[in-house]
Amino acid sequence: MTWPELTDLLMVGLRETAWMVGASTVLTAVGGLLLGVLLVLTAPGGMLAAPAVSSVLGLVVNVARSLPFIILLVAVIPFTRAVVGTTIGTDAAIVPLTIGAIPFFARIVEAALREVPPDVVAAATAMGATRRQIVGKVLLREARPGLIAGLTITVIALVGYSAMAGVVGGGGLGDLAIRYGYQRFDTQVMIATVVVLIVFVQLVQMAGDLVVRRLSHR
């Protein structure tokens, strides 16, 4: 394989991975934040304590997290068809990626919000803050460094999951490594793909760390 051929392959794979990971990250951030906040609010002793809701949410999250991603990918195919109209391709891969990552990120959000000292929440309550203000201006804002660090972990997990997107024809760098590197014994493509993945993950982590450092004033 010539260099131009290789770089073309890598560029296509990189673009597909970036799109899959980027889109599912945005959706996961929104969904995971919502779910994580709900987990904290409905927990016993929480601001909207609702034991039944809390246990159902917890169960759903645990079930979703128990499924190996490759199984989830296949299991949600009917849902994927309903949402994007097709079950193959990069867009179709975004649905299972998001469904897989939301419970993962939600648990991270939950843990980050619990790190906010109860004292601080009590102080805001004593000032007469509304529940909306407490969630927005105290919990989420105080937990920002933890949330960003958690999102970074989630993005990197998504890069890993997205390697399996090849199963539904999603493409991406992982798929490239499997098809060319593993199935065709093309060591050159394998190494090149792995290098690109390492650099990609490294950049994501560095960007995440930078933002966390900027936000953290503890």
Partner 1 sequence: MIEIQGLRKTYRAKGRRDRAVVAVDGVDLSVSEGDVFGVLGQSGAGKSTLLRCVNMLERPDEGTVSVGGVELTALNRRRLRVARHGIGMIHQHFALLSSRTVAGNVAFALEVTGVPRAERRARVAELLELVGLGGRADAYPAQLSGGQKQRVGIARALAARPKVLLSDEATSALDPETTDSILRLLLDLNARLGLTILLITHEMNVVKRICHSAAVMRDGRFVESGAITNLLHRGDSELVRGLFPLDAPTELPGHTVVDVTVSGEQTDAPLLAELSRRFEIDVRILGGSVESLAATRAGRWRLALPDGSDAALAFLRERGALVTVPQPPLRLEPAPVSLTANQEAAS
Closest to partner 1 by CB, 131 or 184: 131
Closest to partner 1 by CB, 7 or 130: 130
Task: Kindly state the smallest distance separating residue 28's Cβ from partner 1, in Å.
Answer: 23
Closest to partner 1 by CB, 52 or 127: 127
Q: Which two tokens stand for residue 203?
A: 């950049």
Closest to partner 1 by CB, 7 or 55: 55
Task: Kindly state the smallest distance separating residue 126's Cβ from partner 1, in Å.
Answer: 4
Secondary structure letter of residue 165 according to DSSP:
G
- φ, ψ of residue 91 in degrees (nearest 5): -60, -40
Task: Kindly state the smallest distance separating residue 45's Cβ from partner 1, in Å.
Answer: 10
Buried b (16+ CB within 10 A) or exposed e, 91-119: bbbbbbbbbbbbbbbbbbbbebbeebeee
Task: Kindly state the smallest distance separating residue 143's Cβ from partner 1, in Å.
Answer: 9
Task: Kindly state the smallest distance separating residue 118's Cβ from partner 1, in Å.
Answer: 9
* Cα separation, 160 vs 175, whole angstroms: 11
Q: Which long-range contacts (C-beta less than 8 Å, at least 24 apart) are formed by 136-142?
A: 139/37, 139/40, 139/113, 140/33, 140/37, 140/113, 142/116
Task: Kindly state the smallest distance separating residue 119's Cβ from partner 1, in Å.
Answer: 4
* Cα separation, 14 vs 202, whole angstroms: 14
Closest to partner 1 by CB, 133 or 205: 133
What radius of gyration do the chain's Cα atoms show?
Answer: 20
Closest to partner 1 by CB, 184 or 214: 214
Residue 126 near residue 152 (C-beta atoms within 8 A): no
Q: Which two tokens stand for residue 34?
A: 């919502």
Kindly list the residues in this chain that would bind partner 1 in the complex (CB under 8 A).
117, 119-120, 122-130, 133, 137-138, 141-142, 144, 215, 217-218
